[in-house]
């Protein structure tokens, strides 16, 4: 198991974007050419799709809810579900951007062996990627902590809507709702929100998302390790790598002598270990990289 220990989001150190993204993209293409590449993605790849990131240089400081808070305090849990009742709709409606679509195309062309993502937004799946490790789970599934039963977030929405009629409309009437990461929304007045328990055992329901203080399932880690081991190059896209559960794959590559490239806005935890670093926009740089890669056969 891998335990997520960090408990606070802090924005990444701002750095100057590369003055010649085409040159850096060409270097990335050279690193990938003729090699099997695995992609590790973070929140930065999904910001063009309207999903905020955690640690971009312009992101607000956030203190995420921990697993211990969620399971140990009904007030925290109610607050979360009220926010999620609104925020998950935004994530459900989000669509892949050009970066997601390009990575899916690279997989079809045999340039990429798979994607390890720290995101829970399912945008790689929506884009057409097939070999995906959703390291931190996804927003679309809910699990009972009592009996282990799983159900879709959409079906839970219907139950929450019945228990909380007009809640969304009442909140929306107060002004624009700020969407937060992980199918969340920024709300204050949630005291009257009613939660739903497992229909089978009356146990506690939780999104199938790895919270801080919770373990990443061993099977997911093993699958991600296998992708890294099968590949020749690791390319990180849109992640500061602050969370150990993502950074560990860079460490695995570095310790086995595999090159690592990092494309991100701002400095990352692994900058000093990378073969190539690119400070730039994910969509722009990946597009330029694609232009420098071999044409599909």
Which residue numbers are catalytic? 136
Q: By the 8 A CB rule, do 156 and 196 touch?
A: yes
Measure the CA–CA gap between 66 and 63, rounded to whole angstroms.
9
Residues linked to residue 39 through DSSP beta bridges, in sequence order: 115, 235
221 phi and psi, to 5 degrees? -65, -45
Q: Is 218 exposed, middle or buried (0-12, 13-18, 19+ CB in 10 A)?
A: exposed
Measure the CA–CA gap between 176 and 98, rounded to whole angstroms.
27
276 phi and psi, to 5 degrees? -145, 130
Which residues are annotated binding-site positions for Zn(2+)?
A: 144, 147, 198, 201
CB atoms closer than 10 angstroms to residue 168: 16
Q: Which single residue is written with the structure tokens 């310790």?
A: 255
What is the helix (H) or strand (E) element at residue 118, kind and residue range?
none
Measure the CA–CA gap between 57 and 44, rounded to whole angstroms.
11
């Amino acid at each position: 198991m891998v335990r997520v220990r960090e408990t606070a989001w802090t924005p990444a150190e701002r750095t100057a974007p590369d003055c010649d993204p085409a040159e850096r993209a060409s270097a990335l293409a050279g690193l990938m050419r003729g090699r099997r590449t695995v992609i590790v993605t973070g929140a930065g790849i999904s910001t063009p799709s309207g999903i905020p990131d955690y640690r971009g240089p312009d992101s607000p400081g956030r203190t995420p809810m921990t697993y211990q808070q969620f399971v140990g305090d009904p007030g925290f849990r109610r607050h979360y579900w009220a926010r999620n009742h609104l925020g998950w709709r935004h994530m459900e409606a989000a669509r892949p951007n050009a970066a997601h679509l390009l990575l899916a195309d690279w997989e079809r062309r045999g340039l990429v062996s798979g994607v390890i993502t720290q995101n829970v937004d399912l945008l790689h799946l929506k884009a057409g990627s097939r070999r995906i490790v959703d390291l931190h789970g996804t927003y679309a599934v809910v699990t009972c902590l009592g009996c282990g039963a799983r159900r879709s977030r959409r079906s839970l929405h219907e139950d929450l809507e019945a228990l909380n009629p007009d809640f969304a409309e009442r909140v929306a009437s107060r002004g624009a709702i700020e969407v937060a990461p992980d199918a969340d929304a920024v709300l204050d007045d949630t005291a009257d929100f009613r939660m739903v328990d497992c229909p089978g055992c009356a146990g506690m329901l939780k999104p199938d998302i790895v919270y801080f203080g919770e373990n990443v399932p061993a099977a997911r880690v093993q699958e991600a390790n296998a992708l890294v081991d099968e590949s020749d190059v690791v390319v990180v896209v849109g992640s500061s790598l602050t969370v150990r559960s993502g950074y560990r794959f860079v460490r695995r590559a570095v310790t086995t002598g595999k090159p690592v490239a990092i494309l991100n806005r701002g400095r990352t935890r692994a900058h000093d270990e990378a073969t190539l670093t690119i400070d730039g926009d994910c969509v722009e740089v990946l597009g330029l990289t694609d232009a420098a890669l071999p044409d599909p056969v």
